[in-house]
Chain A
Amino acid sequence: MAHAPPYPLMIGPIHPALKEPTMFKFTMEGERVLDVDIQPGFNHRGVEYLGMKRNPLQVLHLAERVCGICSGAHQYVFCRAVEHAANITPSVRGDYLRVLVAELERIHSHLLWAGVAGHELGFDSILHYTWKVREDVQDILEIICGNRVNYSYYIFGGVRRDVTPEQVEKARKIFAKYRKLEDTILDIFLTDPTISHRVQDVGVLTKENALKLSACGPLTRGAGVKKDVRFSWPYGSYGDMMDDFKVVTPESLGYKATGDIFSQVVVRLVELFEAIRMCEWVLDNLPSGPITSEPNLSALLMAKLRMAEGEGVARVEAPRGEDIHYVRLKKNKMELDSWKIRVPTYGNIMSWLTMFKDAQIADIPIIIASIDPCIGCMDRVTLVDSGTGRERDVDWAVLHDLSVKRSRGLMP
């Protein structure tokens, strides 16, 4: 049989399989992927630069807008980084409540991912079902934080709002509802023949590659690597929960950790229900005391944050994986001196290259979706001169000049 020559196939920057703009250049042979080149950089927003123009309390609200899904995680990790730099110790009750919201966020993020995965496979009923189920956890988040998406719940030293007994009661009711759905949801994803046909042995990330490429989050745990910041570097109340919870791998449910997308589905679903149990655990063991160690905001800002000098690094396990923030504070300077975000997707994009090996076109969307990419969080700008092929990074001065030039051009 004669072979047709390989041809290029562009997925992106705008494509139905992508929820955010990024670019995949595939070299295809028929339906088979020969090679792939990933070109991000379509969704850079300059959040870090923006943060360096604001004081930490203002950045708190900017931080959660890094990502629409792991908004809480970004705020949490930013709080912890600043606390590290300014030597603030959060209150114990605050620490527990922080974990409560972080786990609620994990529930909604994993449910959202499950729906997106179903949609990528052409199984829209799953999308409608899981997103309907997700409404309940959004309701709890709204009850507890006052907001559905950007919670504004965390603050240096603790959290902003306390939970009332009525809220706890409502939340418990919804948790009970979720636990009833556990069997149904596991049954839908793990036994449906059309889903198994599409996710088993597809997009395999071997344990070796997962370690070599420093992947993070459910992706690595699906490959059988027990890598979870919550357990390997406990923060918040996770240290107290170590006895009752373990790192989730496909083996938790008796499946083999093969690193294919099916293992990731298993990991995310088990984590989803673990998160519900964690929330219940937090509500059961909630210590009394103040919700924050720094109740006076102006004192916090003027005395502590302004006077602080030093660097802070923190990491949390966001729903998509390890999220790291680095912050540098200067004495007598209101604004952040430096801010660096390393989001989970940034650690995971290299895994795509090995996962696409020998995939078919039909597998591309689910492989893209499987790492739960968040391009908006991840993008950095690199300009490539198309004539010389030379690449250069863009700093804020260049961007500023470009935008000034652009606005001048718009003026009559």
Chain B
Amino acid sequence: MNEFLEAMIRLGAGAFVMVAVLIVSLVLKGFDRRFAAWLQARVGPPLMQPFYDIAKLWQKENILPERAVSWSFMGAPFLALVGSLVLLLFVPLGPVTGKVEGWMPLLEGYGDLILVVYLLAVPSLMMAIGGFSSGSPLATVGAQRELVMMMSYELPLSVVVLSLGWRLSKLDLGLDALSIADITSKPLWGEVGLLGVIGLLMLAVVFFLIIPSELSKIPFDAPEAETEIGGGILAEYSGNNLAMFYLSDAVKTVAFTSLAVALFFPYGISGNIGELIGTPLSGWAAFGVDLVFWFIKIELVYFFAVTVIRVGAARLRIDRLSWLYLVPLSVLSVVGAVMLYLDTL
């Protein structure tokens, strides 16, 4: 009975987290659009615009193209959304090292970083499948580009994640190398020497440059490239199918930026604020402070990794884009990993 109760609690918590993150992610998108408008010296849409977009798309008709494969065309958006929502159960959201006991990724212990890296690929894969099954040459080109891009950034991404885990396992603290909770509870910055810090910086740069391409944002938006292939993968999608891809992208944004924060900057500020005001914060107060700080952190990551880059660059051609990830960034990540290794000697 106890186990059943626990499972029910987890189920409820999972549903709550998903709804909460859906809202947070749309707010994050709203901030992105406001900030981009600010950088381009224009007014920009209201902060709630993503909500209006979703509400409107949801009322619209779903159009099934004549030549589309209907089951995969209709199934892909749903699975993409499910894929990114499941991701939320494994990545650390909010202040993982917060002061509330037991605030961890909901399925902590059931999956590790390797699983997260694979889950991250699910929405992109579903978009590619949706693109291939829409029966439009534009969408097919987009889907091919999406696959090329995935193949290009997977290597540096895996190198970054694995070398972080490996370095952690060398700390002799009895930590699980790939457990997300352990990585976030023990930030590596304080544990390594100078070489290690340089290596970590390199890995961080690589990881931050993977964010915009994982989220298909300019200059890495070749799969969607509005002016070239008219939305590419999304060219044939409409109505709530399009809304589901939009939501999946938004949720993935939170998951990925949150992962970046957890891997490279898992600190809270409740302690410092407690010192500042004289009374140490504890329990839910500390949690609230850290939750707000977490949102600021992911917004900062998103601002510098996506918003600033996307207003300041032209779209890259797919060959150059693939080369960028396969050669310079892969080399940079490997050099970073070697630095981390040299640090242990």
A interface residues with partner B (beta carbon < 8 Å): 7-10, 15-17, 28, 30-31, 118-125, 128-129, 132, 192, 194-195, 197-198, 360-365
Complexed CA–CA distance, A9 and B141 (Å) = 10
Task: Write the nearest CB–CB distance from B102 to chain A, whole angstroms.
Answer: 45
Asked whether, in the complex, the Cβ of A360 is within 8 Å of the Cβ of B225, the reply is no
In the complex, the chain A residue whose C-beta lies closest to that of B320 is A197
Q: Does B1 contact A (CB under 8 A)?
A: no
**Choice from B144, B221, B317 contacting A197 with Cβ under 8 Å:** B317
Query: Per a CB cutoff under 8 Å, which of A125, A132, A360 touches B317?
Result: A360
Nearest CB of chain B from residue A150's CB, rounded to whole Å: 26
Partner among B141, B313, B319 whose Cβ is within 8 Å of the Cβ of A194: B313
Q: How far is the CA of A325 from the CA of B61 in the complex (A)?
A: 49
Across the interface, B318 reaches (CB within 8 A) one of A15, A16, A28, A362, namely A362
Q: Is A9 in contact with B225, judged by CB distance below 8 angstroms?
A: no
Cα distance, A365 to B230, chains bound together (Å): 11
Contact partner of A125 among B226, B311, B316, B318, CB < 8 A?
A: B311
- Assess the B226–A16 pair: CB atoms within 8 A: yes
Chain A residues near B317: list those with CB within 8 A.
197-198, 360, 362-363
CA distance A194 to B39 in the complex (A): 18
Cα of A124 to Cα of B44 in the assembled complex, Å: 13
Closest Cβ neighbor of A193 among chain B residues: B313
Given the interface pairs A9-B138, A129-B41, A360-B319, the reply to whether A121 lies near B230 with Cβ below 8 Å is no
Determine whether B183 belongs to the interface, using a CB cutoff of 8 Å to chain A.
no
B222 at the interface (CB under 8 A from A): yes
Q: Does B193 contact A (CB under 8 A)?
A: no
Residues of B within 8 A of A123 (CB): 218, 313-315
In the assembled complex, the CB of A136 is this many whole angstroms from the nearest CB of chain B, namely 14
Q: A362 contacts which of B42, B137, B226, B228 (Cβ < 8 Å)?
A: B228
Are B314 and A8 closer than 8 Å at their CB atoms? no
Please report the C-alpha to C-alpha distance between residue A364 and residue B229 in the assembled complex, in whole angstroms: 10
A267 to B171, CA, bound (A): 61
A selection of 7 A-B contacts at a CB cut-off of 8 Å is A7-B137, A9-B138, A122-B227, A123-B314, A125-B39, A360-B319, A362-B228
Give the interface centre of B228, B230, B313, B318 by most chain A CB atoms within 10 Å. Answer: B228
> Which B3-44 residues sit within 8 Å CB-CB of chain A?
39-42
In the assembled complex, how far is the CB of residue B182 from the closest CB belonging to chain A, in whole angstroms?
Answer: 40
Once A17-B227, A361-B229, A365-B227 are accepted as A-B contacts, the answer to whether A128 and B319 lie under 8 Å apart by CB is: no
Is residue B312 within 8 Å, beta carbon to beta carbon, of the partner chain? yes
Q: Which of A7, A8, A10, A123 counts the most B-chain CB atoms under 10 A from its CB?
A: A123
CB neighbours (8 Å) of A197 from chain B are 314, 316-317, 320
Q: Is B219 an interface residue (CB 8 A)?
A: yes
Among A125, A129, A195, A361, contact of B228 (Cβ-Cβ < 8 Å): A361
A287 to B20, CA, bound (A): 72
Tell me if A128 and B42 are in contact (CB < 8 A).
yes
- Please classify the interface of chain B as helix (H, G, I), strand (E, B), loop, or mixed, using the class held by over half of its residues: loop
- Contact between chains at B40 and A119 (CB < 8 Å): no
Tell me whether A121 and B315 are in contact in the complex, defined as CB-CB below 8 angstroms, given that A8-B137, A129-B41 are known contacts. yes
Report the minimal beta-carbon distance from A12 to chain B, rounded to whole angstroms. 10
A265–chain B nearest beta-carbon distance, Å? 12
Report whether B311 and A124 are in contact in the complex, using a CB–CB cutoff of 8 Å.
yes
* Residues of B303-345 whose CB lies within 8 A of A: 311-320
Q: In the bound complex, do residue A132 and residue B41 qualify as a contact, i.e. CB atoms below 8 Å apart?
A: yes
Q: Smallest CB-CB separation from A197: which chain B residue?
A: B320
Q: Do A125 and B225 touch (CB < 8 A)? A: no
Q: A122-B227, A194-B313, A194-B315 given; name 13 further pairs at CB < 8 Å.
A: A7-B137, A15-B230, A16-B226, A31-B318, A31-B319, A122-B313, A122-B315, A123-B315, A125-B40, A194-B314, A197-B317, A360-B317, A362-B318
| Min CB gap A32→B, angstroms | 10
| Most chain A beta carbons < 10 A, residue from B219, B229, B316, B318 | B229
B137 near A10 with CB under 8 A, answer yes
The answer on a CB contact under 8 Å between B221 and A122 is: yes
Q: Write the B132-155 contact mask toward A (1 if CB under 8 angstroms, else 0).
A: 000001100100100000000000
Cβ contacts under 8 Å, A119 to chain B: 227
CA of A362 to CA of B229, assembled, Å: 8
Determine the residue in chain A with the shortest Cβ distance to B221: A122
The residues of A that contact B230 with a CB separation of less than 8 Å are 15-17
Choose among A122, A194, A195 the residue that contacts B225 (Cβ–Cβ < 8 A).
Answer: A122
A116, closest chain B residue (CB): B227
In the assembled complex, the Cα of A121 lies from the Cα of B317 at a distance in Å of 10
Question: A-B pairs with the 3 shortest C-beta distances?
Answer: A122-B315, A121-B314, A123-B314
Closest to B230 in A: A16
Closest to B311 in A: A125
**Alpha-carbon separation in the docked complex, A9 to B138 (Å):** 7
Residues of B within 8 A of A124 (CB): 40, 218, 311
Contacts of A132 in B (CB 8 A): 41
**How far apart sit A215 and B313, CA to CA, in the bound complex (Å)?**
31
> When the two chains form their complex, are residues B315 and A198 in contact, meaning their CB atoms are under 8 A apart?
yes
A364/B40 in contact, CB under 8 A: no
Write out the residue numbers on chain B whose beta carbons fall within 8 Å of the beta carbon of A198: 314-317
